[in-house]
Structure 1
Amino acid sequence: MGLIRRPKVTQRAMERAMLGVSLRDHIRNEDIRKRTKVTDIARRIAKLKWQWTGHIARKTDGRWGRKVLEWRPRTGRRSVGRPPTRWTDDLARVAGIRWMRDAQDRSLWRRLGEAYVQQWTSFG
Protein backbone atom coordinates (compact mmCIF):
# COMPACT_ATOMS: atom_id res chain seq x y z
CA MET A 1 0.00 0.00 0.00
CA GLY A 2 2.91 2.34 0.64
CA LEU A 3 4.00 2.08 -2.98
CA ILE A 4 0.96 3.99 -4.19
CA ARG A 5 1.84 7.20 -2.38
CA ARG A 6 4.51 8.39 -4.82
CA PRO A 7 2.38 8.07 -7.97
CA LYS A 8 -0.49 9.86 -6.21
CA VAL A 9 1.76 12.75 -5.17
CA THR A 10 3.16 12.96 -8.69
CA GLN A 11 -0.30 12.93 -10.20
CA ARG A 12 -1.46 15.73 -7.90
CA ALA A 13 1.61 17.79 -8.84
CA MET A 14 0.89 17.28 -12.54
CA GLU A 15 -2.74 18.27 -12.11
CA ARG A 16 -1.71 21.43 -10.27
CA ALA A 17 0.73 22.21 -13.08
CA MET A 18 -2.01 21.65 -15.69
CA LEU A 19 -4.21 24.21 -13.96
CA GLY A 20 -1.40 26.58 -13.03
CA VAL A 21 -2.27 26.22 -9.36
CA SER A 22 0.37 26.51 -6.63
CA LEU A 23 0.34 24.79 -3.26
CA ARG A 24 0.26 28.28 -1.79
CA ASP A 25 -3.16 28.83 -3.34
CA HIS A 26 -4.60 26.35 -0.77
CA ILE A 27 -6.98 24.66 -3.19
CA ARG A 28 -8.11 21.21 -2.09
CA ASN A 29 -7.04 18.16 -4.06
CA GLU A 30 -10.68 17.15 -4.53
CA ASP A 31 -11.45 20.51 -6.15
CA ILE A 32 -8.47 20.17 -8.48
CA ARG A 33 -9.54 16.63 -9.40
CA LYS A 34 -13.04 17.88 -10.27
CA ARG A 35 -11.59 20.57 -12.52
CA THR A 36 -9.16 18.28 -14.35
CA LYS A 37 -11.54 15.28 -14.54
CA VAL A 38 -8.53 12.94 -14.46
CA THR A 39 -8.93 9.40 -13.14
CA ASP A 40 -7.22 8.76 -9.83
CA ILE A 41 -3.98 6.85 -10.45
CA ALA A 42 -4.53 4.57 -7.44
CA ARG A 43 -7.94 3.46 -8.75
CA ARG A 44 -6.50 2.84 -12.20
CA ILE A 45 -3.56 0.81 -10.90
CA ALA A 46 -5.79 -1.29 -8.63
CA LYS A 47 -8.28 -1.94 -11.42
CA LEU A 48 -5.58 -2.97 -13.89
CA LYS A 49 -3.94 -5.26 -11.31
CA TRP A 50 -7.27 -6.95 -10.60
CA GLN A 51 -8.11 -7.36 -14.29
CA TRP A 52 -4.68 -8.73 -15.17
CA THR A 53 -4.79 -11.21 -12.28
CA GLY A 54 -8.20 -12.50 -13.36
CA HIS A 55 -6.99 -12.79 -16.94
CA ILE A 56 -3.92 -14.81 -15.93
CA ALA A 57 -5.90 -16.98 -13.48
CA ARG A 58 -8.30 -18.00 -16.29
CA LYS A 59 -5.45 -19.14 -18.57
CA THR A 60 -5.07 -22.90 -18.86
CA ASP A 61 -2.24 -23.22 -21.40
CA GLY A 62 0.56 -23.65 -18.84
CA ARG A 63 2.42 -20.40 -19.50
CA TRP A 64 4.61 -18.89 -16.78
CA GLY A 65 2.17 -16.13 -15.71
CA ARG A 66 -0.11 -18.48 -13.82
CA LYS A 67 2.84 -20.37 -12.36
CA VAL A 68 4.15 -17.11 -10.92
CA LEU A 69 0.78 -16.40 -9.31
CA GLU A 70 0.70 -19.86 -7.73
CA TRP A 71 4.35 -19.86 -6.63
CA ARG A 72 5.14 -20.43 -2.97
CA PRO A 73 8.60 -20.43 -1.38
CA ARG A 74 10.14 -23.88 -0.97
CA THR A 75 10.21 -23.75 2.79
CA GLY A 76 6.65 -22.50 3.03
CA ARG A 77 7.79 -20.13 5.79
CA ARG A 78 8.41 -16.43 5.73
CA SER A 79 11.10 -14.50 7.54
CA VAL A 80 10.79 -13.30 11.11
CA GLY A 81 9.26 -9.89 11.68
CA ARG A 82 6.82 -8.29 9.32
CA PRO A 83 7.42 -10.06 6.02
CA PRO A 84 6.87 -8.22 2.75
CA THR A 85 3.49 -8.88 1.21
CA ARG A 86 3.25 -10.91 -1.94
CA TRP A 87 1.38 -9.83 -5.06
CA THR A 88 -1.53 -12.11 -4.17
CA ASP A 89 -1.80 -11.30 -0.45
CA ASP A 90 -4.10 -8.33 -0.90
CA LEU A 91 -6.11 -10.22 -3.54
CA ALA A 92 -6.80 -12.95 -1.00
CA ARG A 93 -7.88 -10.33 1.53
CA VAL A 94 -10.76 -9.30 -0.72
CA ALA A 95 -11.60 -12.47 -2.66
CA GLY A 96 -10.68 -15.06 -0.04
CA ILE A 97 -8.32 -17.97 -0.08
CA ARG A 98 -9.97 -19.48 -3.17
CA TRP A 99 -9.59 -16.42 -5.34
CA MET A 100 -8.13 -18.44 -8.23
CA ARG A 101 -11.37 -20.41 -8.45
CA ASP A 102 -13.48 -17.26 -8.17
CA ALA A 103 -11.56 -15.67 -11.04
CA GLN A 104 -13.03 -18.27 -13.40
CA ASP A 105 -16.46 -16.62 -13.02
CA ARG A 106 -16.07 -13.28 -14.82
CA SER A 107 -19.18 -11.60 -13.38
CA LEU A 108 -18.23 -12.55 -9.81
CA TRP A 109 -14.66 -11.40 -10.46
CA ARG A 110 -15.88 -8.00 -11.68
CA ARG A 111 -18.05 -7.52 -8.58
CA LEU A 112 -15.16 -8.47 -6.32
CA GLY A 113 -12.96 -6.09 -8.32
CA GLU A 114 -15.01 -3.08 -7.26
CA ALA A 115 -14.53 -4.05 -3.60
CA TYR A 116 -10.83 -4.56 -4.22
CA VAL A 117 -10.40 -1.14 -5.83
CA GLN A 118 -12.26 0.51 -2.94
CA GLN A 119 -10.17 -1.32 -0.34
CA TRP A 120 -6.87 -0.74 -2.14
CA THR A 121 -7.38 2.97 -2.73
CA SER A 122 -8.60 3.70 0.80
CA PHE A 123 -5.07 3.13 2.10
CA GLY A 124 -3.36 5.61 -0.23
Structure 2
Amino acid sequence: MHIISAGWLKWRQASGILCDKRVPHKLNGKFYRTTIRPAMLYGAECWPTKRRHVQQLSVAEMQMLRWFCGHTRRDRVRNEVIRDRVGVAPIEEKLTQHRLRWFGHVQRRPPEAPVRNGVLERVDNVKRGRGRPKLTWDESVKRDLKDWNISKEIALDRSAWRLAINVPEP
Protein backbone atom coordinates (compact mmCIF):
# COMPACT_ATOMS: atom_id res chain seq x y z
CA MET A 1 0.00 0.00 0.00
CA HIS A 2 1.20 3.52 -0.74
CA ILE A 3 0.59 4.70 2.82
CA ILE A 4 2.97 2.13 4.21
CA SER A 5 5.64 3.24 1.76
CA ALA A 6 5.02 6.84 2.88
CA GLY A 7 5.63 5.73 6.46
CA TRP A 8 8.86 3.97 5.48
CA LEU A 9 9.96 7.08 3.60
CA LYS A 10 9.56 9.15 6.78
CA TRP A 11 11.29 6.35 8.70
CA ARG A 12 14.33 6.53 6.42
CA GLN A 13 14.51 10.29 6.86
CA ALA A 14 14.49 9.92 10.66
CA SER A 15 16.42 6.67 11.05
CA GLY A 16 19.52 8.48 12.32
CA ILE A 17 17.59 9.63 15.38
CA LEU A 18 15.44 6.55 15.82
CA CYS A 19 18.26 4.02 15.62
CA ASP A 20 20.58 5.95 17.95
CA LYS A 21 21.18 3.84 21.08
CA ARG A 22 21.71 6.96 23.22
CA VAL A 23 18.10 8.12 22.68
CA PRO A 24 15.61 6.60 25.17
CA HIS A 25 12.89 4.33 23.81
CA LYS A 26 10.08 6.54 25.17
CA LEU A 27 11.48 9.54 23.29
CA ASN A 28 11.75 7.43 20.14
CA GLY A 29 8.11 6.45 20.64
CA LYS A 30 7.07 10.06 20.98
CA PHE A 31 9.00 10.94 17.82
CA TYR A 32 7.35 8.03 16.02
CA ARG A 33 3.87 9.14 17.14
CA THR A 34 4.42 12.71 15.96
CA THR A 35 6.19 12.16 12.64
CA ILE A 36 5.86 8.68 11.17
CA ARG A 37 2.39 7.60 12.28
CA PRO A 38 0.68 10.75 10.92
CA ALA A 39 2.32 10.10 7.55
CA MET A 40 0.89 6.58 7.57
CA LEU A 41 -2.57 7.68 8.69
CA TYR A 42 -2.92 10.79 6.55
CA GLY A 43 -6.49 10.86 5.29
CA ALA A 44 -7.32 7.63 7.13
CA GLU A 45 -10.67 8.95 8.31
CA CYS A 46 -12.04 8.58 4.77
CA TRP A 47 -10.76 5.08 3.98
CA PRO A 48 -13.09 2.12 3.99
CA THR A 49 -10.32 -0.10 5.35
CA LYS A 50 -10.47 -3.83 4.97
CA ARG A 51 -9.04 -6.06 7.69
CA ARG A 52 -6.19 -6.93 5.32
CA HIS A 53 -5.16 -3.26 5.13
CA VAL A 54 -5.23 -2.90 8.90
CA GLN A 55 -3.09 -6.04 9.22
CA GLN A 56 -0.53 -4.66 6.75
CA LEU A 57 -0.39 -1.36 8.65
CA SER A 58 0.13 -3.06 11.99
CA VAL A 59 2.85 -5.32 10.59
CA ALA A 60 4.74 -2.34 9.18
CA GLU A 61 4.35 -0.46 12.46
CA MET A 62 5.68 -3.37 14.50
CA GLN A 63 8.66 -3.73 12.15
CA MET A 64 9.54 -0.09 12.79
CA LEU A 65 9.06 -0.35 16.56
CA ARG A 66 11.14 -3.53 16.77
CA TRP A 67 13.87 -1.95 14.69
CA PHE A 68 14.45 1.06 16.90
CA CYS A 69 14.18 -1.09 20.03
CA GLY A 70 16.98 -3.24 18.66
CA HIS A 71 14.93 -6.45 18.48
CA THR A 72 14.19 -8.86 15.67
CA ARG A 73 11.40 -11.39 15.39
CA ARG A 74 13.96 -14.05 16.22
CA ASP A 75 14.31 -12.53 19.72
CA ARG A 76 10.67 -13.52 20.34
CA VAL A 77 9.74 -10.37 22.24
CA ARG A 78 5.98 -9.93 22.34
CA ASN A 79 4.36 -6.99 20.60
CA GLU A 80 2.71 -5.77 23.82
CA VAL A 81 6.09 -5.63 25.57
CA ILE A 82 7.58 -3.53 22.79
CA ARG A 83 4.53 -1.25 22.70
CA ASP A 84 4.75 -0.71 26.47
CA ARG A 85 8.48 -0.03 26.28
CA VAL A 86 7.99 2.56 23.54
CA GLY A 87 4.63 3.94 24.71
CA VAL A 88 2.76 3.51 21.43
CA ALA A 89 -0.86 2.37 21.05
CA PRO A 90 -1.80 -0.06 18.26
CA ILE A 91 -2.29 1.62 14.89
CA GLU A 92 -5.65 -0.14 14.50
CA GLU A 93 -7.03 1.80 17.49
CA LYS A 94 -5.76 5.08 16.09
CA LEU A 95 -7.25 4.33 12.69
CA THR A 96 -10.63 3.66 14.29
CA GLN A 97 -10.40 6.81 16.41
CA HIS A 98 -9.65 8.91 13.33
CA ARG A 99 -12.58 7.41 11.44
CA LEU A 100 -15.07 7.84 14.29
CA ARG A 101 -13.94 11.41 14.94
CA TRP A 102 -14.47 12.23 11.25
CA PHE A 103 -17.87 10.49 11.38
CA GLY A 104 -18.88 12.81 14.21
CA HIS A 105 -17.71 15.85 12.24
CA VAL A 106 -19.65 14.76 9.16
CA GLN A 107 -22.81 13.99 11.13
CA ARG A 108 -22.76 17.36 12.91
CA ARG A 109 -22.69 19.24 9.60
CA PRO A 110 -26.00 20.54 8.21
CA PRO A 111 -27.75 18.17 5.80
CA GLU A 112 -27.16 20.46 2.80
CA ALA A 113 -23.36 20.49 3.32
CA PRO A 114 -21.40 18.99 0.40
CA VAL A 115 -19.59 16.51 2.63
CA ARG A 116 -22.93 15.09 3.81
CA ASN A 117 -24.23 14.79 0.26
CA GLY A 118 -21.11 13.05 -1.01
CA VAL A 119 -20.50 10.63 1.83
CA LEU A 120 -23.82 9.53 3.16
CA GLU A 121 -26.07 9.50 0.10
CA ARG A 122 -26.63 6.15 -1.58
CA VAL A 123 -27.86 5.68 -5.11
CA ASP A 124 -30.49 2.93 -5.22
CA ASN A 125 -31.36 2.71 -8.91
CA VAL A 126 -27.88 1.81 -10.17
CA LYS A 127 -27.35 -1.71 -11.46
CA ARG A 128 -24.72 -3.45 -9.39
CA GLY A 129 -22.02 -5.60 -10.90
CA ARG A 130 -21.43 -9.23 -10.14
CA GLY A 131 -19.68 -10.42 -7.02
CA ARG A 132 -19.34 -9.03 -3.55
CA PRO A 133 -20.14 -5.31 -3.24
CA LYS A 134 -17.27 -2.97 -2.42
CA LEU A 135 -16.79 -2.00 1.21
CA THR A 136 -18.11 1.50 1.80
CA TRP A 137 -17.04 4.07 4.35
CA ASP A 138 -20.32 4.00 6.25
CA GLU A 139 -20.15 0.21 6.53
CA SER A 140 -16.69 0.46 8.06
CA VAL A 141 -17.98 3.13 10.49
CA LYS A 142 -20.85 0.83 11.48
CA ARG A 143 -18.33 -1.98 12.05
CA ASP A 144 -16.20 0.32 14.22
CA LEU A 145 -19.21 1.42 16.27
CA LYS A 146 -20.20 -2.21 16.78
CA ASP A 147 -16.65 -3.38 17.61
CA TRP A 148 -16.11 -0.61 20.16
CA ASN A 149 -19.68 -0.92 21.49
CA ILE A 150 -20.42 2.78 20.94
CA SER A 151 -23.84 4.12 20.00
CA LYS A 152 -24.30 6.62 17.20
CA GLU A 153 -25.36 9.31 19.69
CA ILE A 154 -22.14 8.96 21.68
CA ALA A 155 -20.12 9.21 18.47
CA LEU A 156 -21.85 12.51 17.70
CA ASP A 157 -21.18 14.01 21.15
CA ARG A 158 -17.50 15.04 21.31
CA SER A 159 -16.98 14.86 25.07
CA ALA A 160 -18.88 11.58 25.52
CA TRP A 161 -17.03 10.07 22.57
CA ARG A 162 -13.63 10.92 24.09
CA LEU A 163 -14.66 9.23 27.33
CA ALA A 164 -16.04 6.17 25.52
CA ILE A 165 -12.78 5.41 23.70
CA ASN A 166 -10.34 6.91 26.26
CA VAL A 167 -8.93 9.72 24.12
CA PRO A 168 -7.08 12.36 26.16
CA GLU A 169 -8.36 15.91 25.92
CA PRO A 170 -6.35 18.22 23.59
What TM-score results when the alignment is normalised by the length of structure 2?
0.54
Flag structure 1 segments of 5+ consecutive residues without an equivalent: 115-124
Percent identity reads: 25
Structure 2: runs of 5 or more not aligned = 1-50, 166-170
Counterpart amino acid of 1:47? Q
1:40-77: per-residue Cα shift (whole Å, max 9, x none)? 11101100100111111101173321112222134266
Q: Residue 103 of structure 2 contacts residue 155 of structure 2 at CA under 8 Å; is this kept in 1?
A: no
Q: Per the alignment, do residues 82 and 22 of structure 1 end up closer, same or farther by CA in structure 2, a change over 3 Å counting?
A: same
How many residue pairs match? The answer is 110
Task: Give the residue type in structure 1 aligned to 2:157.
Answer: R
Q: 1:14 to 1:104 in 2, by over 3 A?
A: closer
Larger deviation: 5-14 or 78-87?
A: 78-87
Is 1:47 matched up with 2:97?
yes
| Residue identity in the other structure for 1:23 | R
Task: Label 1:25 to 1:103 Cα distance change in 2 as closer, same or farther (>3 A).
Answer: closer
1:37 and 2:67 aligned: no
1:106 Cα deviation from its structure 2 partner: 0.6
**Map of 1:14 onto structure 2:** 64
RMSD in angstroms over aligned alpha carbons?
A: 3.0
Are the counterparts in 2 of residues 11 and 41 from structure 1 also a CA contact under 8 Å?
Answer: yes
Alignment partner of 1:110 is 2:141: no
1:62 aligns with 2:112: yes
Using CA pairs under 8 Å that are at least 6 residues apart, name the structure with larger relative contact order, 1 or 2. 1
Q: Structure 1's 109 and 55: CA in aligned 2 closer, same or farther, altered over 3 A?
A: farther
Runs of 4+ in 1 over 6 A off after TM superposition: none
Tell me if structure 1 keeps the 8 A contact 2:111–2:117.
no
Q: TM-score, normalised by structure 1?
A: 0.71
